[in-house]
């Protein structure tokens, strides 16, 4: 009987365990988690800060699930070393757990800038961090968030939504500079400003004080709560100490296997083909591949990389970015629509007749179809305006569930198609919650919920009409 040990019980590790159990009840599974919490959806932590969700609502698996599926779960138990010679992991308390297959799902940790006073700030990464932030926000008069990437924007918006004045500080010249071009960053900043977040870009934090943040040049931004969202780095120390190959992340092949054939790595700690993925969908795809191989369900299963779609999950801000968003007319065909007063900026980047990048800021019904076109890499229709504005006369692209092919991917995080939702509905699932329970659609970032509701609603309407 194969002994599987998983180090890391976050979104990647928890998904792997459930994928393994969906395929095989006989593999012995032990999972260690450094955090004392049961696994939770880290993507939705900004909703906890904003107060729109409780910690219980972001939980992935509860203790009863582990008992029901014969999985030994050890939350709050840190693995400190790997004995590759005897094939065992050793915990901080001295426990030795033997393995036949070891999967590292150690995730990533928050980057804390090396500035005086940083220890007095709160990182935004874990559920414990959320609780610390919310406790401080209850008595704070003003907050500063350092870092204008995804996490920083989500934290700033969440705190502002609670009525707390917030200043967002960012080193680069515009927000989300890795995913957005300068104009999109400008429009996003103006949108956030309208929601109560003061934006300061191109600034350098020199020191974190008891009463605020001092910038280079001497200016102090007042605050009694400072939140750090300065990016993350893969947790690779365990692998490096064990002598495994580590670059930016733990280096793996298409099987997600390290240079030790009995050890795999998945999620934010893994580096595949030179890329470390920081999103949930790739981690869950990797977990499925490893589950196939470990259980023998599909020994030919391989991970070929992911086409990344980034979605901002901040209340009253709709943003999706994918692919090569920084290309200009010198490099590709670019289609743009900008309406700053309405907080709208749309950009398509097209090369060889295929969508290779897109920025969609502001409400639009085009997100679903454009994501599918980007993911499939197929040829685009000639009507470029119709791509951005579905339903225009002559458009070959429409968001209506009637015109979506069954092969269209509705949930990127869980790789769920319209056809799978239809099959689930035909089997008796008549609402979004039932579809989610059967297919996992909407349980990742939640960005596909409106589309899933549309498909389910359309199917229910067709049943009523035919009746």
Does 429 lie in the same domain as 389?
Answer: no
Q: For residue 342, what are its two tokens?
A: 């309405």
Residue 38 belongs to a domain with what CATH number? 3.50.50.60
| Boundary (domain end) residue, out of 213, 230, 247 | 230
How confident is the model over 383-400, as a mean pLDDT?
Answer: 65
Those residues whose C-beta lies under 8 Å from the C-beta of residue 56, and which sit 6 or more positions away, are none
| Boundary (domain end) residue, out of 191, 211, 230 | 230
What are the contacts of 391-396 at 24+ separation with CB within 8 A? 391/365
Task: Identify whether 311 is part of a domain.
Answer: no
Does 460 lie in the same domain as 374?
Answer: no
- What stretch of H or E contains 309? strand 309-314
- What stretch of H or E contains 361? strand 354-361
Task: Identify whether 449 is part of a domain.
Answer: yes
Q: For residue 325, what are its two tokens?
A: 């968003």
- pLDDT exceeds cutoff 70 at 397: no
Surface-to-core class of residue 141, CB atoms within 10 Å of its CB (0-12 exposed, 13-18 middle, 19+ buried):
exposed
Q: Which residue has the higher pLDDT, 100 or 52?
A: 100
- pLDDT exceeds cutoff 50 at 424: yes
Q: Rounded distance, CA 83 to CA 69, Å?
A: 28
With CA atoms as reference, report the closest residue to 150 among 294, 300, 15, 319: 319
- pLDDT exceeds cutoff 90 at 418: no
Whether the predicted model's global pTM rises above the 0.85 cut? yes
Is residue 384 within 8 A of residue 346, CB to CB? The reply is: no
Task: Identify whether 286 is part of a domain.
Answer: yes
Does 146 lie in the same domain as 78?
Answer: no
Does 245 lie in the same domain as 105?
Answer: yes
Number of domains in the chain: 4
Confidence (pLDDT) at 334: 96
Is residue 396 within 8 A of residue 386, CB to CB? The reply is: yes
**Domain range holding 333?**
318-337+352-393
User: β-pairing, 344-351 with 333-339?
Assistant: antiparallel
Alpha carbon 455 to its chain's center: 24
Is residue 284 within 8 A of residue 414, CB to CB? The reply is: yes
Does 30 lie in the same domain as 101?
Answer: yes
Length of the chain: 467
Q: Which residue has the higher pLDDT, 441 or 334?
A: 334
Average pLDDT, the chain: 91
- pLDDT exceeds cutoff 50 at 28: yes
Task: Identify whether 300 is part of a domain.
Answer: no
Task: Identify whether 142 is part of a domain.
Answer: yes
DSSP string, 262-287: TEEE-GGGEEETTB---SHHHHHHHH
Does 270 lie in the same domain as 374?
Answer: no
Task: Identify whether 342 is part of a domain.
Answer: no
Does 129 lie in the same domain as 202?
Answer: yes
Does 257 lie in the same domain as 328?
Answer: no
Q: Rounded distance, CA 74 to CA 7, Å?
A: 10
Does 213 lie in the same domain as 150?
Answer: yes
Those residues whose C-beta lies under 8 Å from the C-beta of residue 88, and which sit 6 or more positions away, are 82, 96, 97, 98, 99
Please write the tens of the pLDDT for every residue from 436-447: 888 888 888 777
Does 375 lie in the same domain as 242?
Answer: no
Does 189 lie in the same domain as 258?
Answer: no
Confidence (pLDDT) at 217: 93
Residue 446 belongs to a domain with what CATH number? 1.10.10.1100
Q: For residue 382, what are its two tokens?
A: 């000639």
SS3 state of residue 108? strand
The percent of residues above 90 in pLDDT, for the chain, comes to 70
With CA atoms as reference, report the closest residue to 129 among 151, 97, 147: 151
Task: Identify whether 97 is part of a domain.
Answer: yes
Please write the tens of the pLDDT for every residue from 228-274: 999 999 999 999 999 999 999 999 999 999 999 999 999 999 999 99
Task: Identify whether 101 is part of a domain.
Answer: yes
Does 219 lie in the same domain as 127?
Answer: yes
């Amino acid at each position: 009987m194969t002994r599987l040990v998983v180090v890391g019980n976050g979104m990647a590790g928890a998904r792997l365990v459930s994928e393994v159990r969906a395929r095989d009840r006989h593999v012995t599974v032990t999972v260690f988690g450094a955090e004392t919490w049961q696994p939770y959806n880290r993507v939705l932590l900004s909703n906890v800060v904003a107060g729109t969700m409780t910690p219980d609502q972001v939980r992935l698996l509860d203790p009863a699930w582990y008992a029901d599926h014969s999985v030994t779960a050890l939350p709050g138990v840190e693995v400190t070393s790997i004995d590759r010679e005897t094939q065992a992991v050793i915990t901080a308390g001295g426990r030795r757990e033997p393995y036949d297959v070891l999967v590292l799902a150690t995730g990533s940790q928050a980057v804390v800038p090396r500035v005086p006073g940083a220890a007095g700030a709160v990182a935004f990464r874990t559920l414990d961090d959320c609780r610390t932030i919310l406790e401080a926000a209850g008595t704070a008069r003003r907050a500063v968030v350092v870092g204008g990437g995804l996490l920083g924007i989500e934290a700033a918006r969440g705190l502002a939504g609670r009525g707390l004045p917030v200043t967002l500080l960012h080193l680069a010249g515009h927000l989300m500079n890795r995913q957005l071009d300068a104009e999109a960053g400008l429009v996003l900043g103006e949108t956030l400003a309208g929601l109560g977040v003061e934006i300061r870009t191109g600034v350098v934090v020199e020191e974190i004080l008891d009463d605020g943040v001092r910038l280079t040049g001497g200016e102090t931004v007042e605050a009694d709560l400072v939140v750090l969202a300065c990016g993350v780095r893969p947790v690779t120390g365990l692998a490096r100490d064990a002598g495994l190959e580590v670059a930016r992340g733990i280096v793996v092949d298409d099987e997600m296997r390290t240079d030790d054939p009995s050890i795999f790595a998945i999620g934010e700690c893994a580096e595949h083909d030179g890329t470390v993925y920081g999103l949930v969908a790739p981690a869950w795809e990797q977990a499925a591949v490893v589950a196939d191989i470990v259980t023998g369900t599909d020994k030919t299963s391989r991970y070929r990389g992911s086409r990344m779609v980034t979605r901002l999950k901040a209340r009253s801000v709709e943003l999706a970015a994918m692919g090569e968003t920084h290309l200009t007319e010198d490099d590709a065909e670019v289609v743009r629509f900008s309406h700053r007063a309405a907080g709208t900026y749309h950009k398509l980047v097209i090369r060889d007749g295929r969508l290779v990048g897109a920025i969609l800021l502001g409400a639009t019904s085009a997100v679903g179809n454009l994501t599918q076109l980007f993911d499939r890499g197929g040829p685009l229709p000639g009507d470029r305006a119709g791509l951005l504005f579905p339903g225009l006369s002559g458009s070959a692209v429409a968001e209506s569930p009637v015109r979506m092919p069954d092969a269209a991917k509705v949930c990127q995080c869980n790789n769920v198609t319209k056809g799978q939702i239809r099959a689930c509905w035909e089997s008796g699932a008549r609402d979004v919650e039932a579809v989610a329970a059967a297919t996992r659609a909407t349980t990742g970032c939640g960005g596909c919920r409106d589309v899933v509701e549309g498909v389910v609603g359309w199917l229910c309407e067709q049943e009523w009409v035919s009746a």
